[in-house]
Amino acid sequence: MICKRGISQPVYLTIFVIKTAVLEQALEEKRLVFQDLENARKLAQAELKEKGVYNWVKSLRALVRPFIAISSISFYILAKCSGLELTEFDYYLIGGVFTFYFGLRTIEKGLGRG
């Protein structure tokens, strides 16, 4: 039997099963990412509530991620302005930072988790 798209039904069903499996895997990966972020958030909150730790140590801990983000963005701007050639790895690193801070964080805040 031929479907509307000119594809036989067994082939159409196989494509459907593959697409479903890919979507399920993507949803599982998304769930794991949010679970990892939630665990990291709980750990960070527990670290901030530690007793016997100096406030400047807590502040230093809190500045690590923003420092990395600002450094990578500054490196990207410097590279673009000075004509420095970036490798594929550099673009992955900078893209990951941009995605985390300007993509995933925005989604989390929209969902009320950030």
Confidence at 24, pLDDT banded by 50, 70, 90: very high
Residue 106 in tokens: 């925005």
pTM beyond 0.85, yes or no:
no
User: Is residue 113 a contact partner of residue 38, using CB atoms and an 8 Å limit?
Assistant: yes
Predicted pLDDT at 82: 93
The DSSP secondary structure of 7-60, one letter per residue, reads -BHHHHHHHHHHHHHHHHHHHHHHHHHHHHHHHHHHHHHHHHT-SS--HHHHHH
What torsion, rounded to 10 degrees, do the Cα atoms 59, 38, 33, 63 define? 0
